[in-house]
Structures are given as C-alpha cells and as structure tokens.
Amino acid sequence: MERKKNRIAVLLSGGGTTYQHIQERLAAGEADVETAVVISSRADAYGLERARSFGVPAFVVPRKEFNQHGDAAVAMFNRAMLDIIEPYKPDLIVLAGFMCLLSPEFVDRYRGRIINTHPALIPAFCGHEYYGDRVHKAVVEYGVKVTGCTIHFVDEVYDNGPIILQQAVPVYDGDTYEEVAARVQAAEKPLFFEAIKLFSEGALEIRGRKVFRTGGGTER
C-alpha cells in the first residue's frame, strides 16, 4: 500500500524564493510531501506565480483589506486564511517569508504543526522589529562574528517557538549586510527543507521548549 504523503500549506508575502526551493525539491521526490495550497498576504507577491507554475492552488488574502485596529484585524485576517486552508487538511503549515503575525486561534488550531524560518540564531536578533534586511543590518552594525538561521515551531509570539534546527554562518570583517544576507539565505533554504522532511517522517517531538529527534530523518 502506498504511503500517504504529508500535505503542507505554504503562507508567503513576497517573491517566494524559499517556497521555490522547497517545491523544486518536492517535485524531485526528496520527501513524501506535497504542497496542498499556497496563500499570500499580498496580491502582488511573485510567490503566487511560482505556485501556479507548479500547478498548486494559490490564493490571496490581502492583509491590508483588514483595516480594523489591533487584535480584531489580526483575528479576521487569520479566519479568512483558515477558511481557505482547512478544506485542504494540511498536516503542516509552512511560513515561507510570511510577514504577518498569526492569531491565537490559528496557532491553537495547528499548534505544533506550524514552522517558520528566521535569518539569525534565535534568541539573537529576533522579535517583532527584526525581519528581512533589518536583521542583517543589525548583525553587521553590532559586529558579531557569527550569525545564521533558525527553523522553529510557531507560537503566538514573534520568533518564540521551540527551535527545530539552527545553522551558523560566519560574518567576516568588512562584510556588507547584503553579503551576510546572501550567505544566510544559502544556508536557510536547505535547512528549512530538512525541517519539513523531518516533520513528515515523524522525527520531531516537542517537549516544553525543546525539540527532540525521535527517529527517522538524516543526521546532521
């Protein structure tokens, strides 16, 4: 009997290069995983075109249309995404460059089944104000010698969930933030795919704030 593939729902907000890396490796059969649906928080996100080129259903839930203040806007935006996602019955939600906070309702619905990537070694250079190039600029300005990337489970707080995988990346004297960003992104994409693969193999277990390997997967 053929083994059932894990189904992922991908949320994104921009160009979708991380999603492209994941989808190409799935298309090559590198994991028993299929993308069920892609949702973007922006109508102009090129990640939507990437999804459609792979024949993956792609939808827009424009964050800017939910212009109420505070928690009400977050809740309504997230419910609109859930209405699209739930019929696809995903096993895992993958945030691939998704720039919006998930609501407590969304997190509760898929707790322990939402993963994200952050372009630094959490708990350094993380939290609400640290995203995109802001992270790499802060790394260069602070003068650290090592940065990296972190794949983690998602909770209700930015960059706060249990850490799945991390990879260090050197920062050299004289580096620009663009050079640091390129080095981190080169490490980040395959690390993210590895986390998805480990999850699909049932090889991850959350115990409190820690994530443990429980079998399966490829040792690093």
152 counts as catalytic: no
pLDDT at 67: 74
Measured from the Cβ of residue 74, the count of other Cβ atoms closer than 10 Å reads 20
- Measured CA to CA, the distance from residue 153 to residue 170 in angstroms comes to 24
Please answer whether residues 151 and 192 qualify as being in contact, where contact means their C-beta atoms are separated by less than 8 angstroms: yes
> 3-class DSSP state for residue 146?
strand
- 6 strand-pairing partners: 33
Q: What pLDDT is recorded for position 217? A: 47
> Mean pLDDT for each consecutive 10-residue tract of the chain (220 residues)?
81 96 97 98 96 97 81 91 98 95 95 97 94 96 98 95 98 98 97 98 96 68
State the pLDDT at residue 2: 52
* Intra-chain end-to-end CA distance of the chain, in Å: 30
Round to whole Å and give the CA distance between 220 and 218.
Answer: 6
- pLDDT of the residue at 188: 97
The reported pTM is: 0.93
**pLDDT of 219:** 42
Pick the catalytic residue from 69, 118, 128, 152: 118
Domains and CATH numbers, the chain: 1-110 (3.40.50.170), 117-220 (3.40.50.170)
3-state secondary structure of 23: helix
